[in-house]
């Protein structure tokens, strides 16, 4: 496991054409990112969405930005307001936006303009099944995904659910960016193993930046 306080510099690890892991890229900003996550959660608390099929998601979620992603019996959708509370989503912190822009540019996507940030909180046993991010209107814009806290195994597959997948360990501060020819690849997170992270405690947090509209 990578040491939170190690001085090793970030580096890039290719995943596929249009997909790369920026190892340790968000490590230095991590304390400020965690503080911002908690501030967003004070305005819009984490909760477990219900899938259209009636299942409770194991990952707890909140959002910030112009739009937020949610799931309920009506399906998956981006909205300007949280349907649970009726309030607008908290604004995206400037630190979040700048990190997303910088990481996208470093990965070869200089024109990324996110308007939504999904914040996922994983507890031990929580997972995210293989899926495509395809609810966005502009699929030319990439996905930028920031990992904080406990390590997790990321699955990165092909363009059909049954395709073979790569399994890579994502650790604190790693950022995955995928777009272009890899934009619609299936991906997911295997069940989180228990642990205690110096900054995030018993959790893994994931910031996922998208251009929804």
**3-state secondary structure string, the chain?**
CCCCCCCCCCEEEEEECCEEEEECCCCCCHHHHHHHHHHHHHHCCCEEEECCCCCEEEEEEEEEECEEEEEECCEEEEECECCCCCCECCCCCHHHHHHHHHHHHHCCCCCCCCCEEEEEEECCCCCEEEECCCCCCCCCCCEEEEEEECCEEEEECCCCCCCCCEEEEECCCCEEEECHHHCCCCEEECCCCCCCECCCECCEEEEEEECCC
Query: Is 82 within any annotated ligand binding site?
Result: no
Query: Is 2 within any annotated ligand binding site?
Result: no
Query: Is 113 within any annotated ligand binding site?
Result: no
pTM above the 0.85 mark?
yes
Query: Is 210 within any annotated ligand binding site?
Result: yes
For 22-67, the pLDDT digits (tens) are 999 999 999 999 999 999 999 999 999 998 889 999 999 999 999 9
Q: What local confidence, expressed as pLDDT, does residue 9 receive?
A: 85
Query: Is 76 within any annotated ligand binding site?
Result: yes
Query: Is 121 within any annotated ligand binding site?
Result: yes
Query: Is 141 within any annotated ligand binding site?
Result: no
Query: Is 56 within any annotated ligand binding site?
Result: no
Query: Is 51 within any annotated ligand binding site?
Result: no
For 102-126, the pLDDT digits (tens) are 999 999 999 999 999 999 999 999 9
């Amino acid at each position: 496991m990578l040491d939170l306080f190690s001085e090793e510099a970030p580096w890039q690890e290719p995943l596929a054409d249009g997909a790369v892991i920026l190892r340790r890229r968000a490590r230095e900003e991590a304390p400020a990112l965690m503080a911002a996550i908690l501030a967003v959660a004070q305005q819009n608390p984490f909760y477990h969405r219900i899938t259209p099929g009636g299942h409770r998601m194991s990952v707890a979620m909140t959002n910030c930005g112009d739009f937020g992603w949610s799931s309920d019996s009506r399906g998956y959708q981006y909205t300007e307001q949280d349907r649970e509370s009726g309030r607008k989503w908290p604004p995206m912190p400037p630190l979040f936006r700048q990190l997303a822009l910088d990481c996208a540019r470093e990965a070869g996507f200089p024109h990324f303009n996110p308007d939504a940030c999904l914040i996922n909180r994983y507890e031990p046993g929580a997972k995210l099944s293989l899926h495509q991010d395809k609810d966005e209107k502009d699929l030319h814009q990439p996905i930028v995904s920031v990992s904080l806290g406990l390590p997790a195994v990321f699955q990165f597959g092909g363009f059909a659910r049954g395709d073979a997948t790569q399994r890579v360990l994502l650790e604190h501060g790693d950022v995955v960016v995928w777009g272009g020819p890899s934009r619609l690849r299936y991906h997911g997170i295997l069940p989180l193993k228990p642990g205690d992270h110096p900054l995030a405690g018993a959790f893994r947090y994931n910031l996922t930046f998208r251009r929804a509209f």
